[in-house]
Amino acid sequence: MRINCPICGERDHREFTYKGDATAIRPAIDSDDMDTHKAYIYRRKNSAGTHRELWNHTAGCRTHMIVTRDTITHHITSVEPVGPFADQLKEGAK
Ligand SMILES: [Zn+2]
């Protein structure tokens, strides 16, 4: 599988680190509902088909990105940078 990093271009997936489900919503830090915190940390859907995932280009520019990927075919339909410079990267790509 190859991932098109918004900064470095297309690279082998072994240069990247999977950081988890990009659709999981972090509960409020001051929430004392432990079931919500446990669900955020441990419960995952493991769905077959299109999935939004957070990846980091650890062996490259270290940019975090959301990769939309089919978990069966590994076909990637989009890669979006996330983080403090995401808007600038998206502007540069236009
Ligand atoms: Zn990169």
Return d(Cα 77, Cα 63) in angstroms, integer. 18
CA dist list (Å): 34 to 2, 25, 29? 38, 14, 11
- In contact, 8 and 83? CB cutoff 8 Å: no
Residue with tokens 């939004």, as numbered in its chain: 52
Ligand 1 centroid–CA 15 distance in Å is 9
Task: Please list the pLDDT of the chain residue by residue as tens digits (94 residues).
Answer: 999 999 999 999 999 999 999 999 999 999 999 999 999 999 888 889 999 999 999 999 999 999 999 999 999 999 999 987 777 776 766 5
Ligand 1 centroid–CA 81 distance in Å is 10
Ligand 1 centroid–CA 64 distance in Å is 9
Domains within the chain, CATH numbers bracketed: 2-23+36-92 (3.30.2270.10)
CA dist list (Å): 15 to 1, 27, 42? 11, 30, 26
Q: Tell me, what's the pLDDT at 83?
A: 83
Ligand 1 centroid–CA 87 distance in Å is 16
Q: Tell me, what's the pLDDT at 82?
A: 93
